[in-house]
């Protein structure tokens, strides 16, 4: 019965994550990818390293990507990418959680992303369900609750209330950390879909969002008054 509305929220990369591990030369623990990959051949055996720079002293250090692998076991296009310091491959390695685990360091994602949203202004007041596709340009782990606060411009409590009332349908819990694309649905106030889906007696659940029949013009006001 509804014509769904759609919105896109995009997690955009603003920087690569810092690699957190001790620097042998100074007291810093933060490293940045230098943008270079080193390949070393010994006969038919190859070593491939991602090169990092200490953010304090610039010391270069190496993260093993492949060790003593036979040249025939690597995809030729991949090998060319390694030899050319392909930025896409540097980025892939620098954001790889499995490479971090394998080499015993942590990734610090602070300051690596922005959320770009194209949400209709009255998204929360429109009775038509709004489907929101959240896309990730880089696999930054972000709490779902924080994404919703930013995307909807609401406080933590307001987001919790909306989710608790069934108006936000999510494939993940609010406390989960998302790092790849997912879709959520935002149901309008008094929405039949949300009511029947989540609560047999929805009206009493929704009273705290605003008096019935009173038009609400700004989501923030609804949140502040609740």
Task: Tell me the C-alpha to C-alpha distance, in Å, between residue 87 and each of 16, 83, 109.
Answer: 11, 11, 19
**Do residues 29 and 129 make contact, with C-beta atoms less than 8 angstroms apart?**
no
8 versus 57: smaller Cβ distance to Zn ion: 57
Q: Identify residues 95-154 at the interface with Zn ion (CB under 5 A).
A: none
Rounded Cα–Cα distance for residues 96 and 101 (Å):
9
> Interacting stretch for Zn ion, rule CB under 5 A, among 28-36, 99-107, 144-152, 161-169?
28-36
Q: Which is nearer to Zn ion, 50 or 149 (CB)?
A: 50
Q: What are phi and psi of 52, to 5 degrees?
A: -120, 155
- Residue whose pair of structure tokens reads 């659940």 in the numeric block: 205
56 binds Zn ion (CB under 5 A): yes
Nearest to 148 by CA among 120, 121, 122, 117: 117
Task: By CB under 5 A, tell whether 26 contacts Zn ion.
Answer: yes
Stretch that binds Zn ion, among 54-62, 104-112, 143-151, 193-201 (CB under 5 A): 54-62
Segment contacting Zn ion by CB under 5 A, of 6-14, 46-54, 122-130, 147-155:
46-54
Whole-number Å distance between alpha carbons of 105 and 101: 6
28 sits near Zn ion (criterion: CB under 5 A) = yes
Interface positions with Zn ion (CB under 5 A): 23, 25-26, 28, 54, 56-57, 59
């Amino acid at each position: 019965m509804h014509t769904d509305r759609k919105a896109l929220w995009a997690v955009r990369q603003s920087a690569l994550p810092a690699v957190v591990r001790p620097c042998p030369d100074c007291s810093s623990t933060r490293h940045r990818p230098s943008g270079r990959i080193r390949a070393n051949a010994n006969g038919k055996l190859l070593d491939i390293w991602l090169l990092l720079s200490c953010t304090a002293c610039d010391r270069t250090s190496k993260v093993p990507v492949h060790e003593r692998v036979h040249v025939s076991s690597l995809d030729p296009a991949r090998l060319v990418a390694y030899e050319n310091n392909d930025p896409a491959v540097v980025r892939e390695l620098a954001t790889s959680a499995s490479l971090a685990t394998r080499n015993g360091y942590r990734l610090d994602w602070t300051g690596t992303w922005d959320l770009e949203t194209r949400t209709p202004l009255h998204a929360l007041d429109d009775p038509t369900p709004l489907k929101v596709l959240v896309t990730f340009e880089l696999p930054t782990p972000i709490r779902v609750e924080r994404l919703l606060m930013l995307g909807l411009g609401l406080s933590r409590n307001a987001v919790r209330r909306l989710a608790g009332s069934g108006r936000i349908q999510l494939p993940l819990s609010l406390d989960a950390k998302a790092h790849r694309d997912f879709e959520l649905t935002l149901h309008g106030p008094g929405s039949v879909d949300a009511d029947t889906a989540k609560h047999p007696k929805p009206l009493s659940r929704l009273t705290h969002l605003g008096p019935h029949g009173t038009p609400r013009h700004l989501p923030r006001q609804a949140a502040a008054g609740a």
